[in-house]
Structure formats: C-alpha cells, structure tokens
C-alpha cells in the first residue's frame, strides 16, 4: 500500500528531490529525508524553496520540449 502511494506521488509529483539528488550525486531518498527534517526544524519554510524549484523545473522542461532543434528558432 505504501509503495503504491509513493509511486503515485513520484509519477504525479514534481520530481524535485529526484533531480536534485541526481544533480548532486546522492540518492533521492536522502534528499527527501533531509528536506523533511529541515521542514520540521524550520516549521515548513523550505516549502517555498521546493515550490520555486518545482516551478523552475517545469519551466525548463517546457522550454526544452518546445525547442527540439536549432532550426526551431
């Protein structure tokens, strides 16, 4: 049951932790844990950073998918 919920969230989510973990070179589960710990310590303020990164990733994906070739300029 937990695996189904996690799989659904990862497919429908923003993949911020996955991409950040790949970029840094650590496992995404470690990034998620640190994010959760920091959120509890600072009472949720990293949520703003998370939503900013999610917006940035979606915008970057949109720009990259709309221009697939140099001739599309």
Extents of the domains making up the chain: 2-66
| Model pLDDT, residue 65 | 75
Instruction: Show Cβ contacts of residue 31 under 8 Å, excluding neighbours closer than 6 positions.
Output: 17, 20, 21, 24
In this predicted structure, what is the pLDDT of residue 68?
66
pTM: 0.65
Q: Check residue 70 and give its pLDDT.
A: 65
Nearest residue to 14 (alpha-carbon basis) of 55, 45, 62, 63? 55
Span 40-70, pLDDT tens digits? 899 888 888 888 988 888 888 888 777 666 6
């Amino acid at each position: 049951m937990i695996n189904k919920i996690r799989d659904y969230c990862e497919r429908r989510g923003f993949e911020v932790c996955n991409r950040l973990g790949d970029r840094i070179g650590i496992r995404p589960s470690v990034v998620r844990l640190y994010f959760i710990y920091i959120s509890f310590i600072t009472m949720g303020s990293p949520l703003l950073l998370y939503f900013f990164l999610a917006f940035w990733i979606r915008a970057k994906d949109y720009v990259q998918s709309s221009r697939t070739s140099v001739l599309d300029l």
